[in-house]
C-alpha cells in the first residue's frame, strides 16, 4: 500500500490533485494508521493538511466521515501544530520588523543631524531621498519620526536647515511632513531662525507652508523683529509683503460679506420695511 502511495506522490498537487484527493485523504480511508503516521512525519505531506477536495472537504473531514477516530486525533494535532508554528513565525517576523524600524529611525536621525552640523547639504539630501521608512509605520510604534526628532536644546532638522540656508533640505523635510512651527527651548522656530540669518527665500517657503508669522521667542521677538535687528532688508520686505497680502485678503473677504448682506435696492435686507411710509 505504501508503495502505491509513493508512486502517486508525483501526481499529488499541493493545492488540488487531478482527482481532487490528496495522499492524506486516501490514507485515512485505510485501516492501517501507520501509513498516516508516516505521511504526517514528512514535511512534504503536512503542507496538504488544509487542502480541500471538490466538495470542500479536508483530510480531517474524510477521517470523520470514515469514523477513523485515530486519524481524526492525529490530524487535529498536526493541524494545531502547523497553526501554532505559523503564529510563532508571524510574531517573530513582526518583532524583527519593529526592531528594524526602531533601529533605522534612530540611525537616520543621528546621520541627518551629523550632516547638518557639518553643513553637508549633499549628504543630508541623500539621507532624505534614500529614506525607506514610512511615517505611519514609525508612529504606529509610538515613536517620533526621524525628521521630527529633536536634538540638543530642542533643535529639529528643519530649524537647523533654516539657519544654515539649506533650502533643498527644507523642501525635502516639508515633503516628509516635518513640523514647521516646532520651537526649541529658546522659543525659536525655523521661521525665526531664517529671519535672523536673512534667508528670505526660506522664510517665504516656510510662510507658504504654514509658518506662524506672529510667533515670538522667549525674548518676545518675532521673525520681523530679528530681520530688522540684523538689517536683513530682503527678509523684512518678504514679511511685510506677506502681511499686506494677508490683510488685503481679509479685507476683500470682509467687503464681499458686506455686499452679500445688502439687497439689490441698496438697503440692508435685514431692515424692516415701514408699512405706513
Domain 155-163+180-263: homologous superfamily in CATH? Ankyrin repeat-containing domain (1.25.40.20)
pTM metric for this prediction = 0.62
- pLDDT at residue 81 above 70? yes
Helix axes 233-261, 200-208, angle to 10 degrees: 30
pLDDT in the model for residue 69: 82
Mean pLDDT, the chain, integer: 82
What's the pLDDT at 161? Answer: 95
Residue listed under C-alpha cell 470542500: 56
Q: What is the pLDDT of residue 16?
A: 39
| Cell numbers found for residue 23 | 495522499
What pLDDT is attached to residue 58? 86
What does the alpha-carbon distance between residue 22 and residue 32 come to, in Å, rounded to a whole number?
A: 17
- For 220-249, what is the mean pLDDT? 91
> Contact 102/67 with Cβ under 8 angstroms?
no
Range in 91-100, 108-117, 121-130, 148-157 the model is least confident about: 91-100
CB atoms within 10 A of CB 59: 31
pLDDT at 254: 58
- The size of the chain, in residues, is 277
Q: How far is CA 169 from CA 135, 149, 153, in A?
A: 18, 16, 21
Residue 252: pLDDT band (50, 70, 90) is low
Give every CB contact of residue 123 below 8 A, 6+ residues apart in sequence: 111, 115
Which cell goes with 190?
Answer: 525655523
C-alpha cell at 102: 526602531
**Confidence band of 183 (pLDDT split at 50, 70, 90):** very high
Neighbouring-strand partners of residue 262: 268
What gap in Å lies between CA 56 and CA 64, rounded to an integer? Answer: 14
Q: Hey, where are the domains in the chain?
A: 2-86, 155-163+180-263
Which of 9-18, 75-84, 180-189 is predicted most confidently? 180-189
Beta strands in the chain (DSSP E): none
pLDDT exceeds cutoff 90 at 171: yes
Give the CATH architecture of domain 2-86: Alpha Horseshoe (1.25)
Query: In 3-state terms, the chain is what percent helix, strand and coil (to 5)?
Result: 60, 0, 35
Cβ-count burial 152-188 (b if 16+ within 10 Å, e if not): eeebbbbbbbbbbbbeebbebbbebebbbebbbeeeb
Which pLDDT band, with edges at 50, 70 and 90, does 1 fall under? very low
Cell numbers for 78, please give them.
498536526
Q: Which of 118, 209, 104, 193 is nearest to 149 (CA)?
A: 104
In this prediction, residue 6 carries a pLDDT of: 45
The C-alpha cell at 235 is 527678509
Q: What is the pLDDT of residue 41?
A: 81
Among 144, 154, 130, 155, residue whose Cα is nearest residue 101: 144
**Overall average pLDDT of the 153-157 stretch:** 90
The torsion angles phi and psi of 153, rounded to 5 degrees, stand at 65, 20
Judged by average pLDDT, the poorest of 6-20, 33-47, 215-229, 251-265 is 6-20
Q: Which of 243-251's residues contact partners 24+ apart within 8 Å by CB, and which partners?
A: 243/213
Dist. CA 156–CA 251, nearest whole Å: 36
- What mean pLDDT do residues 3-21 have? 46
Let me know if the fold of 2-86 is the same as that of 155-163+180-263: yes
Over the stretch 112-144, which tens digit does the pLDDT of each residue have? 999 999 999 999 999 999 998 889 889 988 999
Cβ atoms < 10 Å from Cβ of 144: 12
For the ranges 37-46, 74-83, 98-107, the one whose mean pLDDT is highest: 98-107
Taking the C-alpha atoms of residue 180 and residue 211, their distance in angstroms, rounded to an integer, is 6
Could you tell me how far CA 228 lies from the centroid of its own chain? Answer: 41
Amino acid at each position: 500500500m505504501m508503495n502505491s502511495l509513493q508512486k502517486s506522490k508525483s501526481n499529488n498537487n499541493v493545492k488540488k490533485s487531478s482527482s481532487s484527493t490528496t495522499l492524506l485523504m486516501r490514507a485515512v480511508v485505510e485501516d492501517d494508521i501507520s501509513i498516516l503516521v508516516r505521511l504526517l512525519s514528512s514535511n512534504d505531506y503536512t503542507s496538504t493538511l488544509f487542502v480541500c477536495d471538490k466538495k470542500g472537504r479536508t483530510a480531517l473531514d474524510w477521517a470523520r466521515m470514515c469514523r477513523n477516530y485515530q486519524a481524526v486525533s492525529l490530524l487535529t494535532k498536526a493541524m494545531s501544530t502547523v497553526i501554532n508554528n505559523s503564529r510563532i513565525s508571524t510574531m517573530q517576523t513582526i518583532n524583527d520588523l519593529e526592531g528594524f524600524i526602531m533601529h533605522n529611525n534612530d540611525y537616520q536621525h543621528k546621520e541627518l543631524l551629523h550632516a547638518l552640523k557639518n553643513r553637508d547639504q549633499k549628504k543630508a539630501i541623500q539621507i532624505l531621498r534614500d529614506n525607506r521608512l514610512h511615517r505611519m509605520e514609525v508612529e504606529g510604534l509610538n515613536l517620533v519620526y526621524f525628521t521630527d526628532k529633536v536634538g540638543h536644546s530642542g533643535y529639529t532638522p528643519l530649524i537647523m536647515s533654516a539657519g544654515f540656508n539649506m533650502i533643498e533640505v527644507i523642501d525635502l523635510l516639508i515633503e516628509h511632513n516635518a513640523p514647521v512651527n516646532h520651537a526649541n527651548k529658546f522659543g525659536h522656530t525655523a521661521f525665526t531662525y531664517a529671519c535672523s540669518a536673512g534667508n528670505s527665500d526660506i522664510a517665504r517657503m516656510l510662510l507658504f507652508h504654514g509658518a506662524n508669522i506672529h510667533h515670538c521667542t522667549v525674548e518676545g521677538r518675532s521673525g520681523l523683529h530679528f530681520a530688522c535687528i540684523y538689517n536683513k532688508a530682503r527678509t523684512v520686505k518678504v514679511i511685510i509683503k506677506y502681511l499686506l497680502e494677508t490683510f488685503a485678503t481679509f479685507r476683500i473677504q470682509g467687503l464681499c460679506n458686506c455686499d452679500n448682506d445688502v439687497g439689490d435696492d441698496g438697503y440692508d435686507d435685514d431692515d424692516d420695511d415701514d408699512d405706513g411710509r
